[in-house]
Amino acid sequence: MFFSDDAGFGIEMVQALDAAHAQDISRSQHPTGRMSAVPAALLDGQDRHKLLRAWLKGWGEART
């Protein structure tokens, strides 16, 4: 899960049945935050921090 809320932002690994289940799990820790489920297979071999920065940047641009 990529998440962003008033307390901060980051990447949280969640074991879930599907994307909706992953968001339900993360929502308990980040009730007001924005989040996106990203399958672990898509992160393999990738710079996770670079992907998180792009995700945060894309969200910021959508708000302006």
Query: What pLDDT is stored for residue 9 in this prediction?
Result: 92
Query: What pLDDT is stored for residue 35 in this prediction?
Result: 92
Regions of the chain where pLDDT drops below 70: 59-64
Say if CB 59 and CB 35 are below 8 A apart: no
Query: What pLDDT is stored for residue 64 in this prediction?
Result: 41
Domain layout of the chain by residue ranges: 2-63
Location of structure tokens 């990447």: 11
The DSSP bridge pattern shows strands 2-5 and 8-11 to be antiparallel
Query: What pLDDT is stored for residue 10 in this prediction?
Result: 92
Say if CB 25 and CB 16 are below 8 A apart: yes
Q: Among residues 32, 34, 22, 30, which one has the least CA distance to residue 60?
A: 34
pTM for this entry: 0.76
pLDDT tens-digit map of 20-31: 999 999 998 889
